[in-house]
Amino acid sequence: MKSITIKGSKRESVGKVSTKALRNAGMVPCVIYGGDKPVHFSAEEKAFKNLVYTPNVYTATIDVDGQKIATVLQDIQFHPVTDKILHVDFYQLFDDKEITMNIPVKLTGTSPGVLNGGSLRFTNRKLRVKALPANLPDFISADISSLKIGNKLFVTSLFNDDYTFMHPDNTVVVQVRTSRNATVSADEDEETETAAE
């Protein structure tokens, strides 16, 4: 999985006053959990652009005053009006410790059901997986080239030895449903056959 480096500096004081001063200076207060003790630091808001405003998923290497910590984004808070980032929580990664993450699903192939007028319902664009950090994929590939009208692709058909899905086996990732266009064309065929008789 790709990683993004974010430079930060340790926060000496943690509290409302210092947090407000940080935000006024265009900085975001952050915390890294999962280690021996939480690491409080701040980073420029623009440093999070490639981590937050993207459909892709990345791990983040946090460089706090020269100390590099491998992490994953755990939680982010936005201002309800301005949408500015208020606070970011990270979780520290360890090579031998499994973590759970939402990974985007990428569709491959062309569905014959869609070509016949069916509508594609992509219900689960991200799937929650559990794996060691080294085994986390950038995305999960789902082949839809065998989906006809009425077919569903379940999470069970995407199983992989590197990671475990945290969803029930009957979770539908994508399906092809009958659309009005497909139904109308079928009715027209019936009418044509009746007229021919």
pLDDT, residue 194, reads 39
Closest CA to 13 of 43, 42, 51: 42
**Gap between the Cα atoms of 86 and 79, Å rounded:** 6
**Gap between the Cα atoms of 175 and 159, Å rounded:** 18
Higher pLDDT, 22 or 180: 22
User: What's the one-letter identity of residue 56?
Assistant: N
Span 21-32, average pLDDT: 90
> pLDDT band at residue 49, thresholds of 50, 70 and 90?
confident
**pLDDT tens-digit series, residues 54-74:** 888 889 999 998 899 999 998
> pLDDT band at residue 182, thresholds of 50, 70 and 90?
low
**Gap between the Cα atoms of 10 and 61, Å rounded:** 15
Contacts of 196 (CB under 8 A, 6+ apart): none
Domains of the chain: 3-93 (2.40.240.10), 100-186 (2.170.120.20)
What is the reported pTM?
0.76
**pLDDT tens-digit series, residues 158-172:** 998 999 999 999 999
> pLDDT band at residue 19, thresholds of 50, 70 and 90?
confident
> pLDDT band at residue 181, thresholds of 50, 70 and 90?
low
Report how far apart, in Å, the C-alpha atoms of 127 and of each of 167, 175, 182 are.
Answer: 8, 15, 30
